[in-house]
């Protein structure tokens, strides 16, 4: 399948829209579990719930506590899903799928004694489903069940934590899962077995091989990034120039009438009139500047603090149709998504 840069293929677009509708349905039912305030630390309080929908788990006294826990787990889930997907952007989609799955499944259980392992198992299954869709190797292939040393390697852990998200694509999925859960998230081998439904010898073998493959990958230079569509580059550069000039009337002129906006982890808007309020929020602030660039090979608007040039604070993805903006996905309220991403500023 071939897609031009920043343009969704029709089947991918249909699938994304289906997932979006499903997420909106569950978000409305469960009072927007992913809702964040502007600083990513202050959280909206739980909505009132019907007594019939209160989740009864050993670790949570109410559905509100459960939703709060899901919000707090989201960055941790993303560290796993992004490395499994090889992209911070695709990883966030998988986190959304996992949260929807957790909300859907929660009321089927009278008690969940190990919520972390339960949630990561749901995320792990979401990853497996996505892997099958991509026609990649099965997440848990049969491997030689060789025994290897059980100790955690500090050197291996440092390599795993420092590696970019895309580096993990060099590992087969079973190795990827073992290395991320052990060396990035710090789970024990027994907990990894619980999450992945693999035997202890299989987990040990995957961890050993994955660490070695990731170590070899650490010396590989990053891939060369280029623009696949010069027209889209000109459009994105124009968008960025108008943003930096605070010429938001000109930015608004680039919006399609039916433009859609997703403030990831916060809210969604539809229509040019509604999206202009989003532009207005940026117009009232002066502590940012933007550049065009790439996040895990995807063209993006990179937002920087005016007081720092080291790394962007967040980013936004823009989709175009006939020269107009048809979709904006802004990660201002989900800044953890950038952790581990390969970020390149356009020259």
pLDDT at residue number 115: 86
The pLDDT of residue 215 is: 84
Q: So what's the pLDDT on residue 19?
A: 55
User: What tens digit of pLDDT does each residue of 248-268 get?
Assistant: 999 999 999 999 999 998 899
The per-residue pLDDT for 155 is: 60
pLDDT, mean of residues 67-74: 90
Predicted confidence band of residue 318 (pLDDT cuts 50, 70, 90)? very high
The pLDDT tens digits of the residues spanning 127-179 come to 888 888 765 444 444 443 333 344 445 666 666 666 778 888 888 889 999 99
- Residue 77: which of 133, 138, 30, 125 has the closest Cα? 125
Burial (CB count <10 Å: 0-12, 13-18, 19+), residue 163: buried
**How far is Cα 208 from Cα 281, in angstroms, rounded to an integer?**
49
Residue 106 has pLDDT above 80, yes or no: no
Q: What is the predicted pLDDT for the residue at 131?
A: 81
User: Whole-number mean pLDDT of the chain?
Assistant: 77
Which DSSP string do the residues of 237-280 spell out, in sequence order?
HHHHHHHHTT-HHHHHHTEEEEEEEEETTTEEEESHHHHHHHHH
Instruction: Give the model confidence (pLDDT) of 1-42 as tens digits.
Output: 334 333 334 454 455 555 555 544 444 443 344 433 333 332
Helices (H), 10-163: 10-29, 63-85, 88-106, 115-133, 154-162
Percentage of the chain lying above the pLDDT 90 cut: 44
- The label of the residue with tokens 């809210």 reads 267
117: CB partners within 8 A, 6+ apart? 191, 194, 195
Average the pLDDT over each of 45-54, 115-124, 130-139 and give the range with the smallest value.
45-54
Please count the CA atoms within 13 angstroms of the CA of 39 that sit on its side-chain side.
3
Residue with tokens 């968008």: 239
CA 124 and chain centroid, separation? 14
321 SS3 class: strand
pLDDT score at 158: 63
pLDDT for position 170: 84
Domain annotation for the chain: domains and CATH numbers: 15-133 (no CATH), 154-217 (1.10.10.10), 230-345 (3.10.450.50)
CA 310 vs. chain centroid, Å, equals 22
Res 28: pLDDT: 42
Enumerate the β-bridge partners of residue 270: 260
| C-alpha pair distances (Å), 275 with each of 139, 255, 260 | 40, 9, 8
What is the spatial distance between Cα 216 and Cα 210, in angstroms, rounded to a whole number? 10
**Do residues 34 and 74 touch, judged by C-beta distance below 8 A?**
yes
pLDDT surpassing 70 at residue 208: yes
Distance, in Å, from the CA atom of 206 to the CA atom of 147, rounded to the nearest integer, reads 10
Q: Are 146 and 66 in contact (CB under 8 A)?
A: no
Q: What is the pTM of this model?
A: 0.68
**What's the pLDDT score for residue 151?**
43
Poorest-pLDDT segment among 46-50, 197-201, 272-276: 46-50
| CB-based contacts of 16-19 (< 8 A; 24+ apart in sequence) | 19/93, 19/96, 19/97
Least confident interval from 103-107, 244-248, 332-336, 337-341: 103-107
pLDDT at 57 over 90: no
- 77: which residues sit within 8 A by CB, 6+ positions away? 95, 98, 99, 119, 120, 123
Determine the pLDDT at residue 42.
Answer: 28
Confidence of residue 276 (pLDDT cuts 50, 70, 90): very high
Q: Is the pLDDT of residue 286 over 90?
A: no
Amino acid 105: pLDDT:
79
């Amino acid at each position: 399948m071939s897609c031009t840069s920043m343009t969704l293929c029709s089947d991918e677009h249909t699938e994304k829209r289906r997932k979006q509708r499903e997420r909106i349905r569950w978000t409305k039912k469960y009072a927007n579990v992913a809702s964040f305030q502007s600083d990513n630390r202050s959280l909206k309080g739980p909505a009132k719930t019907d007594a019939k929908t209160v989740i009864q788990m050993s670790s949570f006294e109410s559905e509100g506590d459960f939703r709060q826990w899901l919000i707090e787990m989201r960055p941790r889930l993303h560290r796993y899903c992004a490395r499994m997907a090889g992209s911070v952007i695709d990883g966030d989609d998988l986190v959304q799928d996992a949260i929807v799955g957790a909300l859907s499944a929660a009321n089927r259980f009278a008690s969940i004694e190990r919520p972390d392992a339960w949630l990561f198992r749901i995320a792990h299954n979401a990853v497996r489903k996505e892997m099958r869709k991509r026609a990649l190797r099965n997440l848990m292939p049969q491997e030689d069940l060789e025994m290897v040393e059980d100790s955690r390697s500090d050197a291996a852990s440092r390599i795993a934590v420092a590696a970019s998200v895309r580096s993990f694509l060099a590992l087969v999925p079973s190795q990827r899962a073992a290395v991320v859960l052990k060396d990035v998230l710090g789970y024990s081998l027994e907990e990894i077995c619980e999450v992945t439904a693999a035997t202890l010898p299989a987990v040990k073998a995957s961890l050993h091989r994955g660490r070695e493959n990731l170590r070899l990958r650490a010396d590989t230079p990053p891939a060369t990034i280029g623009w696949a569509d010069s027209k889209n580059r000109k459009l994105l550069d124009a968008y960025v120039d108008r943003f930096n000039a605070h010429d938001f009337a000109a930015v608004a002129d680039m919006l399609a009438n039916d433009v859609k906006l997703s403030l990831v982890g916060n809210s969604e808007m539809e229509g040019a009139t509604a999206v202009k309020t989003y532009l207005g929020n940026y117009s009232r602030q002066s502590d940012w500047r933007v550049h065009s660039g790439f996040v895990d090979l995807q063209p993006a608007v990179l937002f920087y603090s005016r007081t720092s040039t080291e790394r962007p604070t967040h980013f936004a993805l823009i989709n175009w149709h006939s020269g107009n903006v048809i979709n904006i996905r802004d990660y201002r309220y989900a800044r953890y998504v950038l952790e581990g991403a390969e970020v390149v500023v356009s020259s």
